[in-house]
Amino acid sequence: MPSYRPGSTAMELDTKLAQLGRAPSMHAGMVNVPIYRGSTILASTLEEWEARKQDGNPMANYGRFGSPLSRALEEAFCELEGGYGSTLFPSGLSACTHALLGLLRSGDHLLLTDNVYGPTRTFAEQVLKRLKIEVEYFDPADLAGFRARLTERTRVVYLESPGSLTFEVQDVPALAQAAHEVGAFVVLDNTWSTPLYFRSFAHGVDVSIHAATKYIVGHSDALLGIATANERAWPLLQSSAHHFGEIAGPDDIFLALRGMRTLSVRMRRHWETGVQLAQAINAHPAVAAVLHPALPGNPGHELWKRDFLGASGLFGVALKPMTQAQLSCLFGSFKLFGIGLSWGGFESLALRVDPRPNWRAGENVESGPLLRIHAGLEGTQDLIADMTRALDGALDAGEGDRSVCVEQAGDSMPNAGKMRTHYGYR
C-alpha cells in the first residue's frame, strides 16, 4: 500500500473531504446539499433584491450566478486547493479554454508546454491565434530554452504536469518563478494529481485547472470542470466565466460533490494498483518502456518524489513495434480493460494514442504503438493477469498463431465480451 511521505496531511485531507461543503442545518438536516434546479430566484422585498447586487453578497439574483449547491462545491474545492476562489464549468476543456480567454488579450504572447492536452492545443491553434494571440510551444525540461522564450509580452505560461500522454514531470516551481519574473500568469492543468497529490499554489501556480469529470466525480457519469485562482488571477477568471455565460448543470455538480467524499480512498487505490500494474508489465517482451513518473528510473521520477504527494492510476506504455493484426489481437483479448476516452472512473481503460507532434519520452525506446492505461478499482491481480494475457496474445499473433487471440477473446468471464460489444467498448 502506498504511504504518504513525511509532512503530508493525509488525515486532515480525509477529514476535509468528508466535511467540506456540508451544512445540514441549512438544508432541513440533509447530510448532502440537495440538488437545486432553477433560473429565477425571487426576492421578498425590493430592498432584498437590490442588496443581492452588491459585490461580495453571497446571495445570487439569477440561477446562472450559482446556487447553494454550486457554492458548496466551489468553496470546498477552493479550500482543498488552497486558492482564493473557484468557479465551475460544464467540462474540463471549458475550464481550460475560459481560463486562457480570461487571462489573455489580443497581442499577448502565450507559452504552452509542448506535451499539453490535445484539445487545449487545438483551441490555441484554431481560436487564440485567430484572436491575434501569439502561441508558442516549449520543452518544459529545457529551463534555459524556456527562459529564452519569455518576453515582456508573455502573458500566460500554460503547464501540464505530468505531460499529457507521455507523462513527463515538469519543474513547476522553477518554471513559475521564471514566468513571474516577466509578470506572466502561470496556469496548470492539475487533473492527473488532483488537489490531494499536487499543491498547485504552494508551487507557484496562479490558476489550477481540473477536469472534474475524471477523479473528482470518479464514476464516469458526469461532465464538469473546475478552475481555482489566487487573488491576483481570480477577478479575470471569474469574469471570463460570467461573460461567456458558463454554468455547470446541477446534477453534475451534485455528483462531483458526492465523488469528493471518497476521493482520498479512491486515489490511494488507483495509485497502488497503477504502480503495481506498471511494474508487472515493465519487463514484458512486448513492452519497450513504461511511462509512469512514480517508477524509479523514469524521466521526472526525482521531481515527482520532490513535489508530489502521490500518483494517480493513469500512465503510458510504449510497445515494441507490432503489426495492426497484433494490436487488434491485444485489444480484442481484454476482459477487464474497456476501450474508450476519458479516465479517472472506477473502471479500467486502455487506448491507443498518438503522442505526436512532440514525444521526447520516445526518443530512447523502440518506436511502436503508445497505449494510455488507466488502472481502475478492480482487483489488482486481475488487472495484471488481464493485461499480461493480452500482451502474450499479441506476441503469439505475431508468430502467426491467430487461434490464440480468438481463444483469449472467449467468455472466460461470463458475458464479458457481449457486454463490451453492446455498450460500444469494442
Active site residues: 64, 117, 189, 214
Q: Among 332, 315, 348, which Cα is nearest to 394's? A: 332
| Distance (Å, whole) CA 304 – CA 308 | 5
| Distance (Å, whole) CA 238 – CA 226 | 12
Residue 278's H or E segment, with its range, is helix 263-281
User: Residue 134's beta-bridge partner residues?
Assistant: 109
CA dihedral angle for residue 305, residue 310, residue 316, residue 319, rounded to 10 degrees: 60
Whether a cis peptide bond, with omega within 30° of 0, leads into 250 is: no
| Distance (Å, whole) CA 261 – CA 263 | 6
| Distance (Å, whole) CA 71 – CA 141 | 38
Phi, psi of 138 (to 5 degrees): -140, 155
User: Residue 168's beta-bridge partner residues?
Assistant: none
| Distance (Å, whole) CA 388 – CA 203 | 38
Whether a cis peptide bond, with omega within 30° of 0, leads into 6 is: no
Is-contact 16 79, C-beta < 8 A? yes
236-239's contacts with Cβ under 8 Å and 24+ in sequence apart are 236/102, 236/103, 237/85, 237/87, 237/98, 237/99, 237/102, 237/103, 237/207, 238/85, 238/87, 238/102, 239/102
